[in-house]
Structure 1
Amino acid sequence: MRRIPHILIFSLSILFVAACSQSGPHQPVVIDETDNTETIVQTIKIDSVWAGHPVGFCLLTHADRQYIAYYNANRNLVVGQRNLNELEFQLHIMPATSRETHGGTSTVLNWDSHNSVTLGVDKEGFIHLSGNMHVHPLTYFRSTRPNDISTLNQVMEMVGTEEKRCTYPKFMNDREGELLFHYRDGGSGDGNEIYNIYNTETKTWSRLLDTPLTDGQGLMNAYQSQPTLMKDNWYHVYWVWRDTPDCSTNHDLSYMKSPDLKNWFNAFGEKVNLPATLDNKSLIVDPVPVEGGIINLAARLILDKENNPVFVYHKFDDQGNTQFYIARPNGKEWSYKPITEWDYRWFFSGNGSINKEILLKGFRQREDKNYEVDYWHIKYGFGTILLNENFDPMGKVLKPQPFGETMKPEGEFPGLQVLVSGDIGDSGEKKFRYLLKWETLSRNRDRPRPEPWPEPSNLYLYRMEKNK
């Protein structure tokens, strides 16, 4: 491995092009933050990786160490680690296994873009890995020594039940540092969300909950966010229901919250009996119907100044165009309002991984107490909507292009695009962040592509410094 010097230096400034007091109450506010950029202060070339279709890689920074997991040029699962002061990763190719010989599990990637890989670290520093599953038996590894990813060994069971049809594995640490693992048991349109908790003393997993967190009752499944600890010190989770593998059958944006991941409440403080089902109408934020224009996880959540949940998401308006909407509690009900007036309809349908035409990329409160919504639109490009304290549109924020968008692919194969993956861990460095970057063709509905295929692309780690 070698370090590639790559220093880009930009200036940082925030220029207010227009303000309410200058432009009048009906003129949109435009805030220019295009100089609010970052500097690439370190580039490490890691390996060559498969470029025939996209799949999620994992970067996890934990204290002063960094761990990665990805599929190499031969589509074999690879893990790596380094100390943050080292200039290369120690890489380890996991033994190649097939589903026919290893109980339905495998460390070799096929054509399914669902088969991402993810990492977690428990309180004693042992490393956990799961991935390469789309309605497959649980594929899980655990290190035999702390802080040493090279000692990962496959463990064929966690709890031993509801582990034959797993998808979307995720590790998370609760506020006490305990390691949790959750995944979907079942298929799209017929699945439940299962949560396990790890005991570092016995080195065993058990169920966090006596029941699934969400249950489609054999009729649907919940595509849900990971529970997130927010500023009120509660965990918040949201989801849409889907009736079949056809993505157009998403419906009913829903939400609940918990102080401890065991006792759950709706937005109005009423206790929820688990599992959460569609029958509990108090959990529904917006009863978007089937073919109503909401894709799974096309929502973002923040808390307002009184710690009430506020959502932004997309669905069809009365004319059938796709718009962003705000939803927030109003008494014992939810109120909704559009924040865009786009002349474009994104109708999606079918099975498999789709290429998106609208992406909701961020929703946050600004230092000036207003709010902003970041997006990408196939017709209107990248943009940021500026909202006032009542979540009404008041203008826009001009920002630099997201990292990777201005980069041209190194490869010359037609259709290659740059992918960027963020760090799911935390180095504790406020001015810095880490990214993985590689190139690949777009999704192909999880189906094989005929040859020729592109040459493998380079996988890089970037260390970025905020110019502020």
Structure 2
Amino acid sequence: MKRFMGAMATALLMVAATGVPALAAAPTVTPVGTTVLTTNGRTALTYTGYMNGESFQQDGIVTFGGRQYAAFWDQSGYVNISRRQLPSGAWANLRLTDYQTTSTDSHNVISIGIAPSDGTIHLAFDTHSSALRYRKSIAGLATSGTWAASSFGAVQTSLTSTSMAVVTYPQFFAHPDGTLQMAIRTGVSGTGDEVLYEYRAGAWTYLGEFIDGTTYNNNAYLFGIEYDNTDPAVPLLHVTWTVRETSDASTNHDLYYAYSKDKGRTWRNNAGTVVATTGSTPLAANAAGLKVWSIAQNRGLINQESQVVDAAGIVHVLASHLPAAAPSNTNFTAAREAAVLVHYWRDKASKAWHQTYTPFLERSSRGDIAVDAKDNLYVASGDSSTKKLHIETASKASGWTDWTIRYTSGAVYYSDPLIDHPRLKSQGVMSIFTPRYGGSQIDVQDWQVTG
């Protein structure tokens, strides 16, 4: 009894001193099942990844209206999009054979966007410092339309009259009112800008440049861009990024943050001051209050890892770079071999940023961070050296300090795993899109989460 009371007293003292419950436990995951999306995925390997399964493939797997969607390239170079009725329906695949890629570049991924306003499905694909390739479905395909290749329109190389001749990394995201938007880079690695488009009433509008890199001979790489819905009257759009000074990834540096109250028209720094206007005076790395955490060059910092915003409006960023005690290394590949996963998060009330080093090695792969309905965190991460997939979790109750590995696969997976974020939030099931080593087979693992 004395031992129990002593432990309780210690726990209470820890809560009083830190505000963090001492007995918090990281969430667990229980396997539900694994389905095979394809055994005919594209096998070309570049930049330590495949054309299927890259962190900047946003989204590669996503749930909408009770169905789950996933996109992949097949070995012949055709875009495929599959969907299934949740929780356990079979995958129904569409193979779009009117466009065939010749690329073997793993940057040329397929990203899915779904417009809640009209149920259209949007695909952006096969673009790395080249012309956009884009197509959209008929209205209502995501709600009640016939699942057929004929439901998708022709391939386009622009969204509006604005040229899209040199673009990379399309990222779709939806406003809570149903408006679909897309961010995409113009220019090239080391000298590029981020621009913003908006889809309403069946058509795209160009909003303009919102991050300027070419003026400063650098470019931004987004960790993520997405809305919170803590105030339905004024949803906030959050964006985080790192900056690269040249085409050499060793020159990646620092964590930057901005948010918008008006769908990306104007931008505020961490303190809440308006510092930029899309289309006229965009964000720039040297603007006051945008850099929220210093990470030097030559630290093995990978670009475009992952961001998520929880129900309380707290922004979480998953990055990976060398541990604080490790010496800097100008050899990016060598630096990545010692890189660890690092969790950064912004307290919405105080606007203070926090950093937690995890003990998890990642090497050349990138992880994906996601949140459940209770604001617990989940990471799916790979390891290009061991070919193993890991699931790590942390509880909100601990202040996200109790990071724990909950699953490690056999040595069969490669490239970047992707989490279906909407399904985890709405159904408490984590679906992970994960290519097997070799690229032919792509699995979708389903895990029930308990926080």
TM over 0.5: yes
> Residues of 2 paired with 1:85 and 1:301: CA distance?
24
Say if 1:366 and 1:278 are closer, same or farther in 2 by CA, change over 3 A: same
- Deviation of 1:220 after TM superposition, in Å, equals 0.6
Q: Deviations over 1:178-219 (max 9, x none)?
A: 11122111101111111111132xx32111x34334444150
Q: Describe the SS at the equivalent of 2:122.
A: strand
One of 212, 215, 224 as aligned partner of 1:217: 215
Paired residues of 1:44 and 1:88 also in contact (CA < 8 A):
no
Secondary structure (helix, strand or coil) at the match of 2:170 reads strand
CA distance in 1, matches of 2:318, 2:450: 29
Give the alignment of 1:431-450 within 5 angstroms.
431-441=428-438
Distance 1:373 1:88, change over 3 A: closer
With over 3 angstroms needed to count, the CA separation of the structure-2 counterparts of 1:331 and 1:131, relative to structure 1, is closer
One-letter amino acid of the structure 2 residue matched with residue 204 of structure 1: A
User: Distance between the aligned counterparts of 2:417 and 2:424, measured in 1?
Assistant: 18
Would the alpha carbon gap of residues 267 and 420 (structure 1) be closer, same or farther in structure 2, given more than 3 Å must change?
closer
CA contact (8 A) 1:375 1:384 kept: no
Q: SS state of the match for residue 10, structure 2? A: helix
Q: What's the counterpart of residue 459 of structure 1?
A: 442
Contact kept in structure 1, 2:435 and 2:441, CA below 8 Å: yes
Q: Secondary structure at the match of 1:159?
A: coil
Q: Note the residue ranges of structure 1 that are not aligned, 5 or more in a row.
A: 1-17, 98-106, 347-354, 410-415, 442-455
Match runs of 1:180-329 below 5 Å: 180-200=181-201, 203-207=202-206, 209-217=207-215, 219-230=217-228, 231=230, 233-260=235-262, 261-274=264-277, 275-298=282-305, 313=319, 314=321, 317=324, 320=327, 324=342
The verdict on how the C-alpha distance between 1:143 and 1:239 changes in structure 2, with shifts beyond 3 A counting, is same
Greater radius of gyration (CA): 1
Q: Which moved more, 1:68-77 or 1:86-95?
A: 86-95
The farther-off stretch of 154-163 and 182-191 is 154-163
Q: Distance in 2 between matches of 1:43 and 1:362?
A: 22
Q: CA shift at 1:39, angstroms? A: 3.2
Aligned mates of 2:431, 2:377 — CA distance in 1 = 25
Q: Which residue of 1 aligns with 2:172?
A: 171
Paired residue secondary structure (1:248): helix
Partner of 1:453: none
After TM superposition, give the deviation of residue 375 of structure 1 in Å: 7.3
Distance 1:39 1:335, change over 3 A: closer
- Secondary structure of the equivalent of 1:237? strand
CA positional deviation for 1:292: 4.1
CA contact (8 A) 1:72 1:78 kept: yes
Residues 340/366 of structure 1: CA separation in 2 closer, same or farther (3 Å cut): farther
Contact 2:223 2:305 in 1 (8 A): no
Distance, in Å, in 2 between the alignment partners of 1:23 and 1:85 is 41
Whichever structure has more helix as a proportion of its residues is 2
- SS of equivalent to 1:112: coil
* Change in CA separation of 1:42 and 1:375 when aligned onto 2, cut-off 3 Å: closer
The alpha carbon displacement at 1:221 in A equals: 0.6
In 1, the alpha carbon distance for the partners of 2:22 and 2:382 equals 20
Q: Which residue of 2 aligns with 1:400?
A: 406
TM superposition shift of 1:408: 5.2
Q: 1:85 to 1:226 in 2, by over 3 A?
A: closer
- Opposite residue 165 of structure 1, the aligned amino acid is V
1:311-390 counterparts in 2 under 5 A?
313=319, 314=321, 317=324, 320=327, 324=342, 339-340=356-357, 356-357=363-364, 362=369
- SS of 1:244's partner is coil
Query: Matched residues in 1 for 2:37 and 2:307: separation?
Result: 33
Distance 1:434 1:339, change over 3 A: closer
Which secondary structure does the structure 2 equivalent of 1:440 belong to? coil
Residue identity matched to 1:171: F
CA deviations over 1:361-383 (Å, ceiling 9, x no partner)? 5487997x99999977889x876
The residue aligned with 2:91 is 89
Question: 2 CA distance for matches of 1:298 and 1:52?
Answer: 22
Q: 1:115 to 1:31 in 2, by over 3 A?
A: same
Contact 1:303/1:309, CA 8 A, preserved across alignment: yes
Per-residue deviation, 1:133: 0.9
Rate the CA distance shift 1:315–1:160 in 2: closer, same or farther, 3 A: farther
Answer whether contact 1:293 1:316 (CA < 8 A) is retained. no
Give distance in 2, aligned partners of 1:162 and 1:55.
25
Contact 2:378 2:392 in 1 (8 A): no
Aligned to 1:155: 156
Partner of 2:419: 422
Q: Out of 122, 127, 132, which is 1:128 matched to?
A: 122
Distance 2:322 2:427 in 1: 36
Aligned to 2:43: 51
Which amino acid counterpart does residue 302 of structure 2 have in structure 1?
I
Are the structure 2 counterparts of residues 430 and 383 from structure 1 closer, same or farther at C-alpha, using a change threshold of 3 Å? closer
Equivalence for 2:57 = none
What is the rounded CA distance, in whole Å, between the counterparts of 2:61 and 2:311 in structure 1?
31
Question: What stretches of structure 2 of length at least 5 have no aligned partner?
Answer: 1-6, 54-59, 142-146, 329-338
Give the 3-state SS of the residue equivalent to 1:282 in structure 2. coil
* 8 Å CA contact retained: 1:66, 1:82: yes
Residue by residue over 1:22-59, the C-alpha shift from the partner in whole angstroms, topping out at 9 and shown as x without a partner, is 69969x9786658x232325735545223343223522
